[in-house]
Amino acid sequence: MKMRYKFSEEDHEKIKTARKKNQDKQTDRRLTVLEMRCEGKKQREISEKTGFHQSHVCNLIRQYFEEGLESITESNIPGTIET
């Protein structure tokens, strides 16, 4: 199956930098999905490594390309008020 979304080297560097700055475990798992895909890993392998369902892996990749890195790294904790 052909990859629909293509990661550039710039994308890969942004994702690696975000992982280094991040301290949230869930966000790190989401960023790991993107980093592994940048490295050419298949969805099944990414799913097994991160514990996410394959459809969620696909959705995270799509979300990154459609909404940007911030949509992956922002906190989605219920009850949290962002200022």
Residue 74: what pLDDT? Answer: 84
Tokens representing 62? 């799509």
Of the candidates 28, 26, 31, the one whose C-alpha atom is nearest the C-alpha of residue 69 is 31
Of the candidates 25, 14, 24, the one whose C-alpha atom is nearest the C-alpha of residue 70 is 14
Tally of residues, the chain: 83
Say which DSSP state 81 is in: -
Band (31; pLDDT cuts 50, 70, 90): very high
* Cα-Cα end-to-end distance for the chain: 42
> What is the C-alpha to C-alpha distance for residues 3 and 57, in angstroms, rounded to an integer?
13
Q: Across residues 17-33, what is the average pLDDT? A: 94
This prediction's pTM: 0.83
